[in-house]
Structure 1
């Protein structure tokens, strides 16, 4: 090699090294997050899909967990996603209708975030979000919930060196789409699958006599001709998951809460179809003993009130679910015209006993789902 060529090569190599250093300083290298290899889901829950553009990654889930608990996502830094979704209450808030930064009651009861991978992939009681990513941004911007301007939020997060690093590792940059991606990724990991009922399904234990009777009633559509008594629960709350069916809007139903004159729009607001008036998303019954009060407006304080509603309190309307209208344990020759399951007292108590087997204590105590921020202790005077 000539003496003239060597210096030229050295200059080129040096220039490339300097250019590489400058690129890595001003523009982060390609994002290569780690696949979430430890994530598992019970096969009995059925098929689920992760969006191709938002795969589950270790970095994305960790970032989503931080954002979920960060009160900076609200305009006045007082409310986080976790304010209305408390882990100890299976990610509900214990209120009939949630309250955000405005101090006003919202239209709906806070829904559990357990097992959102399955069931109707239309979120909120009225189905207004078609993905968890879309769902994540709606409360942040809602004037009564978190009232946060997304551009302002991005500026706040960008000013935090820790968030800059985490976003760089997970998605590359801080923007609204990636904020939604991260929160949705965390929410997809909130799998509840270790209740007493799950342990029963795995053959690890037996249910008590009352719980087993309740399970059978839960799973049965009553058939008087066949002398089959049932609670009719399974017709809407699909087996194992106990949430609504996931095909299109099959997971939404009018369950007889109100007559025609008092029906709220529900799904009709989204589909613009009168046939959907009064239909709301069928929620999961997983951890149901922890998620009172019940229904979209929190009108029932106890599981007993819920059972009494389905037994004797159904109100007829044009869009009432036919599965509810035809479900009865009453003999066909009865003079009773009111829609009624006609359950006995013991049968109601048995169904409630079974519902309590759906509580997953490992879910509400799982550190991977808990608040990652230090808890501020108020000193004693």
Structure 2
């Protein structure tokens, strides 16, 4: 081959490689969105890729991500419970009490803020830092042992290759930042849209029982008024997608406590007040989504209400009257609660109908989807 021909051939090969690389880089992520779901918001510095999702799934289930190697994200977020844990409040890897209930993660990609009452955690990447690195309370306890944790991952034959695939442009991709990015990417795929309620909205008139249909009318009606806060596609007023602007963060006080007669909440659980110091924000928390709610008991930010029936009693009473213990006080009389939380009557049948509707929000495919399950073989699960 002549020098000129060799140069021409080399140039063509190089151009083809560059075009292939660019095409791969520009190929959009193939979202598996339930019918009617918009594309979630994704930060520009962490575009979705299948490789990041795969890596994030391994990290989510890996107990070696905690400082002492005893807990994983999945320890408090179990798939069978719609990624909640069935406890009132969890305990961290070193035995620290965590004051707030572990929420379910269905459709967490669409929330405008994360955790129960932090107005500045507006991405899953930021949220992941809380359980991983926070020390008060200490949850996974990765912060003071970061180098040790990362070394554990480097010593596992899986992770160097998984990180190279997920972050191919980085010479040393196994970093703290990329742990957060991969975890966030996996969590954005936890999409739930196959419940009987969803099927009914898509035209399957028999997907809901007659009782659930009556309960839906109550839920979205002016007597129960549930929909004022539990609105939109995921039944929460906290919502963000790719094409929506981030709206003003919304937090609500539901009259759960009134320990001083002026609306005070327990000192370790004051809600938005913890961040703003404003009296009006005492006891205000993010409105939780209700998808799969029948699987995520107990309820409220501190897990202090055990069943859906008790949740209905709380709202029909217009708040909770705590008559014993350290938090005695009548939340029904709180001057800080949302005025929509007011007493109203439900018959026995109407209560059953509302429960039937809430149970119709359960997506059994979601809690059994193998793509969300523990990727480690049972004998080798960390």
**Superposition TM-score tier, normalisation by shorter sequence:** 0.7 to 0.9
SS at match of 1:262: coil
What is the distance in 1 between the residues matched to 2:100 and 2:189?
24
Per-residue CA deviations over 1:141-193 (Å, capped at 9, x if unaligned) read 23431111323222222233421111111113111111111000000000010
Could you say which residue in structure 2 is the equivalent of 1:69? 61
What is the distance in 1 between the residues matched to 2:274 and 2:155?
39
Quick check: 1:233 aligned with 2:238?
A: no
**Equivalent residues in 2 for 1:295-334 (5 A)?**
295-314=300-319, 315=331, 316-324=333-341
Tell me whether 369-378 or 354-363 shows the greater mean CA deviation: 369-378
Could you say which residue in structure 1 is the equivalent of 2:325? none
CA contact (8 A) 2:113 2:238 kept: no
What is the distance in 2 between the residues matched to 1:35 and 1:174?
24
Residue 151 of structure 1, aligned match among 125, 147, 151: 147
Unaligned ranges ≥5, structure 1: 17-28, 222-229, 325-338
Could you say which residue in structure 1 is the equivalent of 2:127? 135
Tell me whether 288-297 or 196-205 shows the greater mean CA deviation: 196-205
313 and 277 in structure 1: CA distance in 2 versus 1, 3 angstrom threshold? same
Could you say which residue in structure 2 is the equivalent of 1:227? none
Could you say which residue in structure 2 is the equivalent of 1:175? 175
**Equivalent residues in 2 for 1:195-234 (5 A)?**
195-206=195-206, 207-221=208-222, 230-234=223-227
Task: State TM-score, norm by structure 2.
Answer: 0.80
Could you say which residue in structure 1 is the equivalent of 2:322? none
C-alpha displacement at 1:265, in angstroms? 1.7
What is the distance in 2 between the residues matched to 1:42 and 1:55?
22
165 and 30 in structure 1: CA distance in 2 versus 1, 3 angstrom threshold? farther
Quick check: 1:89 aligned with 2:84?
A: no
What is the distance in 1 between the residues matched to 2:38 and 2:252?
22
Per-residue CA deviations over 1:25-72 (Å, capped at 9, x if unaligned) read xxxx999667431522442x5563111221111101000000000111
C-alpha displacement at 1:294, in angstroms? 0.4
Could you say which residue in structure 1 is the equivalent of 2:15? none
Could you say which residue in structure 2 is the equivalent of 1:371? 374
**Equivalent residues in 2 for 1:329-344 (5 A)?**
339-344=342-347
For the pair shown, the structure with the greater C-alpha radius of gyration is: 1
SS at match of 2:132: helix
What is the distance in 2 between the residues matched to 1:257 and 1:202?
36
46 and 69 in structure 1: CA distance in 2 versus 1, 3 angstrom threshold? same
238 and 47 in structure 1: CA distance in 2 versus 1, 3 angstrom threshold? farther
CA contact (8 A) 1:252 1:279 kept: yes
Give the length in aligned residue pairs.
333
Unaligned ranges ≥5, structure 2: 11-20, 240-245, 320-330
Could you say which residue in structure 2 is the equivalent of 1:352? 355
Per-residue CA deviations over 1:84-123 (Å, capped at 9, x if unaligned) read 000000000000001121223311000111111223x211
What is the distance in 2 between the residues matched to 1:65 and 1:31?
26
Structure 1: which 4+ aligned runs deviate by more than 6 Å? none
Per-residue CA deviations over 1:126-145 (Å, capped at 9, x if unaligned) read 12522100111221123431
CA contact (8 A) 1:215 1:351 kept: yes
What is the distance in 2 between the residues matched to 1:261 and 1:140?
30
Quick check: 1:113 aligned with 2:113?
A: no
Tell me whether 182-191 or 261-270 shows the greater mean CA deviation: 261-270
